[in-house]
Every structure is written in C-alpha cells, then in structure tokens.
Amino acid sequence: MRRLAAALVMLFLVCNATSAAAIQQALSSPEIEKGKFCILRVSPTELHPSEKTTVRITLKNMGNRSAYRVSAEVLAEKLKGAPVKVVGNARKSVGNYPYYAVGTDREVTVEFDFFVERNATPTVYEIPLCVYWTNDFESETAERSDILYFGLRVSGVAAQSEIDILNVSTDPEVLVPGGTGRITVEMQNVGKARIRTLNAVLRTERTPFTPLNGDLEVHFREIAPGERFIAEFHIAVEHHASEVADRIYYELPLVMEYSDDFASLSKNTSIGVEVRGLPNVLIQEITVEPSQLTAGTEGLFMLTLVNTGILNAENVKVRIVGGDDILTESLKFVGEIAPHDTHTVAFGIRVADDVHFGRHAFNILISYEDEFGKKFSNMNVYEISVFPAKPLIPSEYIYAGIFIITLVFIIYLILLKLESRQRAVMSRKKDQDGERL
C-alpha cells in the first residue's frame, strides 16, 4: 500500500514537471509566423531608354497563414531622381476577389508600367516594392507590410528617331452615344534623325467605336527631327456606349510603327476618350387658354417640357423674350427633369388694352445643365395672335336684323301701294255709280 502511494506521488510530480516544461518552452519559443512574401520572378528585367515597358512581378506567400487585402505598391518616392519611372497606378490589389486573398504557398502576379528616360545611364536600378496585407479576412484594412526589392537593368541607347504625343483632343469634346466624332492626335519627332515612314493605327476592338468613312489607319512619310504632325481618326459611337454608366472613359490602344535611316521601331500607347450621355430638353406641347386672345384678355400660356436625353437636366429655366405686352411673367425656374420625364410650366396672360391686333412673335429660351456642370440651351420662336374684341351683338345677328327690317319695310310699302290702288279703284267705282244715277 505504501509502495502504491509512493508511485502515485511520483507520477503526479512527473506530470507537473512535464507541464511546466511545456509551458516554459512555449513561452520561450519565437512568435508563430503569420505571413511573409517574397519575389519569385521579374520579367522582363532589361529595359531600354525612351521606352515604356510592362514588367510582370510574381509574388509568393511564404507564411503559414492566408493573406487578405493584399496589394503591391512601387514606392515612387524612393525613385525620385532615378531615370526609371513608374507610369500609371503605382499601387494595385492582387489575389482572389473580393478579399484579394493569397493562400499559403500561393503565387500571384502584378503588372506595372515603367518608363526609362532617354538619357538614362546604363546600370541596374533597384526598385522598392511594398506589399501590404492582413491575416484577418474580416479586417477592412491591411495591417502588415513588407518592403521588397528587385532590379531592372537599363541598357542600350535611345533610338535615333522618337515619337512623342503632344496632345489628344476630340471633336466634340465629349462624345455622345449614337453620335460621331473626330479624334485628333498631335505628335512630334523628338529624335535626332528623320522618320522615313510611319504607320499609326487606332485599335477599337471590343469598344463601342467603329470607323467612319474608312479605317483607323494613317500613314506619314519623311518627318524631319522636331517636326510636328497630326493624325485624325473619324469614329462613330454606338448607342449602347453609356448603358452601364452616365459617363465612361475608354482607353484606345494607339500603335505606331515607324522606321528611320538606322532601324525599324514601334511605340505602343493609348488614348483616353470620354463618352457621356447628355440631357436634351425640348418643348413637347404649347397650350394657350383661352385659345383666342383679345385686348384685355386674361389667361395662361403653358409649356410642356420633355427630357429626351439619357441624363438628368438640372437647373432648368425658361425665359420668354418679347412678350411684355401679352405675358405677365418672363422667367420660370423649373429645377430638375429626369430622362423621359415631362414638366409643365405656366405663364400668366394679360393682354394690354392698347395692344395691336395680329401676330405677336417672341423667343422661348430654355437653359439647363447636366450633373457635371456643362451648360446647354436652345431657343424656339412662337407666335400668338391677338384678335379684335367681339361686339355685344354678333355681326351675323345685326345683318339678319337689318335684312328682316328691310324685308318688312318692303312688304309694308307693297301693302301700302296695294291698299292705295284698291282705294283708287273703289273711288273710281263710286264716281261711276253717281253719274249713272
């Protein structure tokens, strides 16, 4: 019995010692690694002066936890003064949507556009890339970050001939669904050698733009150094160009292939084109009450406006010019009219007593804005007729009365003449009877 008790005591002490050792080991061990990224591949790694190149960077999650809200950013601040520049968005989300997740031991690829200045010194430039993430998928922000570095080698010299885009414009400035337009690209040969031939092609595949009166390809020959030249592309915009949103920007690739006396070169860039729906407020109906106006008449002049566009018309105003002797008001504020909606606005009528009869023409000016602040206006000419005042007794009644009175007078004269003849006959008869007696 004593031996059993001693054995139990020894077992208890051994268990306590083992638990204490485990706890001590856990406390002294390093923190569990939650996430870590590294750069696996960079392609391409060699860039050339005066060129814009898309660089693909492959990242890998080396941690033992999935990472969420993952994004990568080229630290442009650390590249100040360097001839290698990041072009466009310097920070991009990566991973699986919607949490932008990257699982353990998973790889993701992010792309950045880099431009090398034409006078860049050939060497390897170190590019800082900061990776942000969180290990909690419920978190809305990235809580962890790590700065990684990769090298880009600049080699070679700038091309002897070089194309630079000076300006891009569209006519109209904002393209409208269902309309047409002209894209004008002003370029310059900023190189030191002449361009013998140049072919510029605007790509519109998978966009709502189609060529108008031909293709979207322009050819040039013999462009001297420093010379400016203009490429024009005529396009038509399909009606569905703004179905998803009121205002959409499209990036159209512009491919230029050219050759100088030394080599054949190419330049790939893109042109930003804005397509935006417009409001269009028109007069649907005009009603005048009463329909016939005379001096001293009071009534209403009513306009029914309709927005036939695809954007809201805001700050709609109606101004009437030239109707001072007929209308009591000249300005009405309508406010907002939604697409395909109508709104009726009424102006008071008070025809002056001394107004001249006939037609009176005045201008109806409608002004409004879209939701982006662009102003529009249109003007309509309308005529209102003012008639002489009607007499108390209608003229047809007066003519009828005169006719009846004249007719009665004629009948009276006829009867009077008949009676006179009858009397003369009777008198003659009496005289004859007296002679006989």
Mean pLDDT by 10 residues, the chain (437 residues): 44 39 38 73 90 94 92 93 93 92 94 89 94 90 92 79 89 83 92 88 88 87 93 87 64 90 83 83 90 85 88 91 83 90 91 81 90 86 81 66 84 82 76 66
Rg from Cα positions in the chain: 47
233, 226, 252, 232: which is closest to 241 by C-alpha?
A: 252
CB 112 within 8 A of CB 93: no
Give the residue carrying structure tokens 């880099």.
114
- Close Cβ partners of 158 (under 8 Å, ≥ 6 residues apart): 48, 49, 50, 118, 119, 191
Stated as kind and residue range, the H or E segment containing 75 is: none
Tokens of 195: 């361009």
- Per-residue CA distances from 24 to 17, 18, 21, 67, 90 (Å): 11, 10, 5, 30, 46
pTM of the model: 0.40
Identify whether the C-beta of residue 354 lies closer than 8 Å to the C-beta of residue 339.
no
User: Could you tell me which residues come within 8 angstroms of residue 259 by beta carbon, excluding any fewer than 6 positions away?
Assistant: 195, 196, 197, 265
Amino acid at 406: T
266-311 confidence digits (pLDDT tens)? 889 988 888 877 788 999 999 988 888 888 888 899 999 999 887 8
Q: How many CB atoms lie within 10 A of CB 432?
A: 9
Provide the token pair at 233. Answer: 């592309």
